[in-house]
Amino acid sequence: MMTKQNLIDYTLHLADNALIIGHRNSEWCGHGPILEQDIAISNIALDYIGQARNFYQYAAQLQGNAATEDSLAYLRDVVDFKNCLLVELPNGDWGQTILRQFFFSTYQYFFFQQLQNSLDEQLAAIAEKALKEVTYHVRWSSEWAIRLGDGTEESKQRMLLAVDELWSYTGEMFQEAGYERLAVSEGYGIDLTSIKNSWDAKIKSVFEEATLSLPTVAWMQSGGKEGQHSEHLGFVLGEMQFLQRANPGAEW
Amino acid sequence: MERNFEEVFQDKIDKEIKIEPKDWMPEKYRQTLIRQISQHAHSEIVGMLPEGNWITRAPNLRRKAILLAKVQDEAGHGLYLYSAAETLGISRDEMYNQLHSGKAKYSSIFNYPTLTWADMGAIGWLVDGAAIMNQVPLCRSSFGPYARAMVRVCKEESFHQRQGFEILLTLSNGTEAQHRMAQDALNRWWWPSVMMFGPKDDESPNTIQSMRWKIKRFTNDELRQKFIDICTEQVKILGLTIPDKDLKWNEVTGHYDFGTIDWDEFWQVVQGNGPCNKERLETRKKAWEEGAWVREAATAYAEKRKNRAATKAA
Ligand SMILES: [Fe+2]
Ligand SMILES: [Fe+2]
Ligand SMILES: [Fe+2]
């Protein structure tokens, strides 16, 4: 029983990450700086909604009790959400959105690469499917990070601001939450320390090409994975969940 | 000499041979098409906004994914259409400028607000439905690039209409509040949708020339009638009521008679006085202006790369 709850929490964490960053990216739809990129970011948002659905459906199945992908996404409150703080931050400008995408996709890339081999077959299958998408997300976001970092003086300044804004939220991805520690010992979770070096190396090489310097600040924000969020998530959920909450039990 | 070119041109059109960008064409044909295609492209892009409004509020994950995919499709349509217009010798930036300055129009329907989730249903069913009716004949436009773009667009539009119909059907059969929401959306979107076919034939002076050039295949009134006939049947399945008390089957014509269209409202919205004209245009301009630094950076970076490659080669 204990084990099952942990697998549920672990799965929900992955679902929440995907849903919230997908939601944030979808805010760009119709407002992108270039039509082709509007399409690209909406497409990435769609990939995330798809990933979220896969994880929620699995969590709902594990949970039973008439749980569904929608009850999990729409009827849990801020304290129940287990996403990293990074994904719930407002989009900022295009540079900040790109940089967040690059940080997060790179993390997901190495994470899913390992999760493909999880002892839990469902998680492994979802990871395998998601990895194809994430591989493209890494390519797209790193190309844009380079373009903007090494573009004009203004774009470089904006990227430096974005780095400043986001860097302290990158540490949480590698800080183990309780359910992650347990997931590792139970054999289906990923040891985050094992992917941290790969993440560092990838960030370093792209930053070099983007002519951006890596920050030296050491302090990292955390809490999201354990349900302690920024003020932003409440607004995201307020907007996202209102129809479900205003019409209990309705079909859509 | 000119006359000869013109004869050859019209002869091709009469024989249903497509006009391609490099072919000779009358200046008026070119200008009319630039206006038609760019207006259509702008409509796709501005049309993303009223529905885009609801992506973050979609009531479940399935609907969220469908709506996002739908709005993204519209961006794709804009892209095909801008590319088709570009073959006529106008750049995408120029077209954007015309949109932002108010010189170019877009479909007035997008100047109405989306107030409830049911509006996603009404837009899909009626607005995409009307668009399909307008666009299917355009797959046979005499101008090759436009015709080919429309073939791709039409394939996706039928999915748009289906998802809208399905939203309304679910709401209509749902709770009382949902049913009311659906009827309210139909009440608000019906007449603006009927107006989407443009002014009455006798007030549409360009129709004759456009039909001769085969860039228009049916008149506004013909398409409007067809739309009303089909919707009046489909609404029965939905269990909703079209807000037109004069809507009545006519044995003699074999069509539905319908009430008087408020053309004053139509022209007011065209002239910029619709409920959301200002907002929609401002939103587009804002996206464009805030994206300037991104486009400049992309250009600058591409330039740098090119220079680096050249230096290396030398
Ligand atoms: Fe479209
Ligand atoms: Fe269209
Ligand atoms: Fe459409």
**Which pLDDT tens digits describe chain B residue by residue (314 residues)?**
556 899 999 999 999 999 999 999 999 999 999 999 999 999 999 999 999 999 999 999 999 999 999 999 999 999 999 999 999 999 999 999 999 999 999 999 999 999 999 999 999 999 999 999 999 999 999 999 999 999 999 999 999 999 999 999 999 999 999 999 999 999 999 999 999 999 999 998 888 899 999 999 999 999 999 999 999 999 999 999 999 999 999 999 999 999 999 999 999 999 999 999 999 999 999 999 999 999 999 999 999 999 999 988 87
Burial of A186 (0-12, 13-18, 19+ CB in 10 A): middle
Q: Do residues B111 and B280 lie in contact, with contact meaning Cβ atoms separated by under 8 Å? A: yes
**φ, ψ at B217 (rounded to 5°):** -110, -25
CA B67/CA B164 separation, integer angstroms: 9
Question: Distance, CA A81 to ligand 3 centroid (Å)?
Answer: 34
Question: Distance, CA B197 to ligand 1 centroid (Å)?
Answer: 15
Residue showing tokens 């009521």 = B241
pLDDT of residue A1: 46
Amino acid identity of residue A245, one-letter, is R
Q: Which residue of A has its CA nearest to B287?
A: A31
Helix (H, G, I), strand (E, B), or coil: what is residue B154?
helix
Please report the residues numbered 25 through 54 in chain B whose beta carbons come closer than 8 angstroms to any beta carbon of chain A: 45, 48-49, 52
Q: Do residues A78 and A241 lie in contact, with contact meaning Cβ atoms separated by under 8 Å? A: no
Q: Do residues A177 and A6 lie in contact, with contact meaning Cβ atoms separated by under 8 Å? A: no
Sign of the CA dihedral running A151, A154, A159, A160: positive
Q: With b meaning 16 or more CB within 10 Å and e meaning fewer, what string describes A87-126? A: bbbeebbbbbbbbbbbbbbbbbbbbbbbbbebebebbbeb
Burial of B206 (0-12, 13-18, 19+ CB in 10 A): middle
CA B304/CA A50 separation, integer angstroms: 37
* Residues of B whose CB is below 8 A from A42: 68, 71-72, 75
In chain B, how many H helices and how many E strands?
Answer: 14, 2
CA A104/CA B78 separation, integer angstroms: 30
For A48-200, strand residue ranges (E) read none
pLDDT of residue B1: 53
pLDDT of residue B2: 58
* Residues of A whose CB is below 8 A from B297: 147-148, 151-152, 154-155
Q: Which residues contact A66 (CB under 8 A, 6 or more apart)?
A: none
Q: With b meaning 16 or more CB within 10 Å and e meaning fewer, what string describes B276-303? A: bbeebbebbeebbeebebbeebbebbee
**φ, ψ at B256 (rounded to 5°):** -85, 130
- Cα angle A130, A132, A135; round to 5: 105
Asked if B291 has any chain A CB less than 8 Å from its own CB, the reply is: yes
Which residue among A34, A73, A147 places its CB closest to the CB of B301? A147
Spell out the domain ranges in chain A: 4-246
CA A37/CA A39 separation, integer angstroms: 5
A4-246: which CATH architecture? Up-down Bundle (1.20)
Q: Which ligand sits nearest to residue B158's alpha carbon?
A: 3
Question: Distance, CA B69 to ligand 3 centroid (Å)?
Answer: 10
Q: Which residues contact A65 (CB under 8 A, 6 or more apart)?
A: none
Q: In chain A, which stretches have pLDDT less than 70?
A: 1-2
Instruction: Give the number of other Cβ atoms within 10 Å of residue A245's Cβ.
Output: 12
* Residues of B whose CB is below 8 A from A73: 60-61
CA B73/CA A128 separation, integer angstroms: 27
CA distance, residue A19 to nearest chain B CA (Å): 9
Asked if B71 has any chain A CB less than 8 Å from its own CB, the reply is: yes
pLDDT of residue A217: 79
Q: Which residue of B has its CA nearest to A38?
A: B75
DSSP state of B143: B
SS3 content of chain B, % helix, strand, coil (to 5): 70, 5, 25
Instruction: Give the number of other Cβ atoms within 10 Å of residue A218's Cβ.
Output: 7
Closest residue by Cα to residue A24 from A99, A78, A89: A89
Question: Distance, CA B77 to ligand 3 centroid (Å)?
Answer: 8
Cross-chain Cβ contact A53/B63 below 8 Å = no
**φ, ψ at B117 (rounded to 5°):** -60, -30
* Residues of A whose CB is below 8 A from B106: none
CA distance, residue B267 to nearest chain A CA (Å): 26
Which residue among B69, B82, B291 places its CB closest to the CB of A46? B69
DSSP state of B127: I
CA A19/CA A25 separation, integer angstroms: 10
Asked if B63 has any chain A CB less than 8 Å from its own CB, the reply is: yes
CA distance, residue A227 to nearest chain B CA (Å): 22
CA B275/CA B110 separation, integer angstroms: 10
Listing DSSP states for B174-216 in one string gives S-HHHHHHHHHHHHHHHHHHHHTT-S-GGG-TTHHHHHHTTS-
Question: Distance, CA A5 to ligand 3 centroid (Å)?
Answer: 43
Helix (H, G, I), strand (E, B), or coil: what is residue A193?
helix
